[in-house]
């Protein structure tokens, strides 16, 4: 199938409308970085999505804390915010960190104060639906199985790459918990000469292996993006004593040649691909304990 540009690849079914907004922004004259940022806005503003932004599941104290990062393949520039409260679009705050400061990451109240100083409005992110669920959780104390993320990768016709990642994190997490999503090389990595990768799933397991960076390194070795995602998962499966299905590892990847792919543990996961004339949700490759191969070595 012939691919036109720009090309956008993102995690989960809610990545499809985000991709489509990215395409619209780019076709309207925005850069690939603008397109990624504003595509992620769609997921961040969707109150029905418990995984990202407004309407995200709060922490154990009933406070929504958000994580996000953005990365530009040109010059390996990056910006990130972690555990930020009361700001609707953390992806845009992350971009301001990248564009307007000498830092890469700001966290907690420092990130919030920076956002307010940059003109971002203070917003109540906890919806009544999530508040009710949180109150029920406090009584029942049954943690939800929710730790999804939007990771969105983009490539234009000149070969310029960009990526972004945004999440409300693990539902009912300990206050201050930060997962992989705002960590460059864990939840997201972009190498302007090779490709980009993003993660979703259980952040603790992504962080411990610098997994998105590893996906890009496998692409550097010549692997197709899907196989790079699979090779990374096989390597983690081999190193980690837990069953693969408990690791909750999922990756999307895109290389500079316009090839893309995804892989996840268990039954895999759904991811979205969009370019002019095409926008679909696809099923990723799926890996289990039996899929440990040469890249992974022998399971401990």
Whether residue 298 is predicted with pLDDT greater than 60 in this model: the reply is no
Query: Phi, psi at residue 200, to the nearest 5°?
Result: -150, 150
Residue 296: which pLDDT band, with cuts at 50, 70 and 90?
low
Q: Provide the percentage of residues in the chain whose pLDDT is more than 70.
A: 95
- Complete edge-to-edge strand list for the sheet that includes strand 150-155: 105-107, 77-85, 65-72, 161-167, 150-155, 7-11, 270-275, 278-283
Residue 293: which pLDDT band, with cuts at 50, 70 and 90?
low
Q: Which of 11, 149, 200, 265 is catalytic?
A: 149
Rounded CA gap, 141 and 134, in Å? Answer: 9
Rounded CA gap, 230 and 225, in Å? Answer: 9
Summarised one tens digit per residue, pLDDT across range 260-289 is 999 999 999 999 999 999 999 999 999 987
Residue 124: which pLDDT band, with cuts at 50, 70 and 90?
very high
Rounded CA gap, 178 and 170, in Å? Answer: 9
Q: Mean of the per-residue pLDDT values for the chain?
A: 94
| SS3 state at 257 | coil
Whether residue 299 is predicted with pLDDT greater than 60 in this model: the reply is no
pLDDT at 230: 98
Which residues have CB under 8 Å from 173's CB, separation 6+?
A: 59, 60, 65
* Report field, pTM of the whole predicted structure over 0.85: yes
| SS3 state at 97 | helix
When the candidates are 3.60.20.30, 3.40.50.150, 3.60.20.10, 3.40.50.970, the CATH number that belongs to 7-285 is 3.60.20.30
Summarised one tens digit per residue, pLDDT across range 60-102 is 999 999 999 999 999 999 999 999 999 999 999 999 999 999 9
Task: Decide if 132 is catalytic.
Answer: no
Which residues are bridge partners to 151 per DSSP?
Answer: 165
Q: Provide the percentage of residues in the chain whose pLDDT is more than 90.
A: 90
Summarised one tens digit per residue, pLDDT across range 11-46 is 999 999 999 999 999 999 999 999 999 999 999 999
Q: Which of 42, 103, 45, 46 is CA-nearest to residue 69? A: 103
């Amino acid at each position: 199938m012939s691919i036109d540009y720009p090309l956008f690849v993102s995690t989960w079914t809610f990545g499809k409308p985000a991709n489509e907004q990215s395409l619209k922004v780019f076709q309207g004259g925005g850069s690939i970085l603008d397109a990624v940022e504003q595509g992620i806005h769609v997921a961040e503003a969707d109150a029905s999505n418990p995984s990202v932004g407004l309407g995200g599941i709060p922490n154990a104290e009933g406070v929504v804390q958000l994580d996000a990062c953005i990365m530009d393949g040109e010059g390996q520039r990056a910006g990130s915010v972690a555990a930020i409260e009361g700001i609707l679009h953390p992806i845009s705050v992350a971009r301001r960190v990248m564009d307007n400061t000498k830092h890469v990451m700001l966290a907690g109240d420092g990130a919030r104060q920076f956002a307010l100083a940059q003109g971002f409005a203070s917003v109540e992110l906890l919806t009544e639906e999530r508040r009710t669920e949180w109150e029920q959780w406090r009584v029942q104390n049954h943690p939800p199985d929710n730790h999804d993320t939007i990771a969105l990768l983009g490539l234009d016709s000149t070969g310029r790459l960009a990526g972004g990642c945004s999440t409300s994190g693990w539902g009912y997490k300990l206050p201050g918990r930060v997962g992989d999503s705002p960590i460059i090389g864990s939840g997201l990595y972009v190498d302007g000469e090779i490709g980009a990768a993003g993660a979703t799933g259980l952040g603790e397991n992504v962080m411990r292996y610098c997994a998105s960076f590893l996906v890009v390194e496998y692409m550097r070795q010549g692997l197709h993006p899907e196989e790079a995602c699979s090779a990374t998962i096989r390597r983690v499966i081999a190193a980690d004593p837990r069953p693969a299905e408990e690791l909750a590892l999922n990756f999307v990847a895109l290389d500079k040649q316009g090839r893309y792919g995804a892989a996840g543990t268990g039954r895999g996961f759904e991811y979205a691909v969009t370019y002019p004339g095409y926008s679909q949700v696809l099923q990723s490759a799926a890996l289990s304990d039996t899929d440990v191969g040469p890249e992974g070595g022998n399971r401990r």
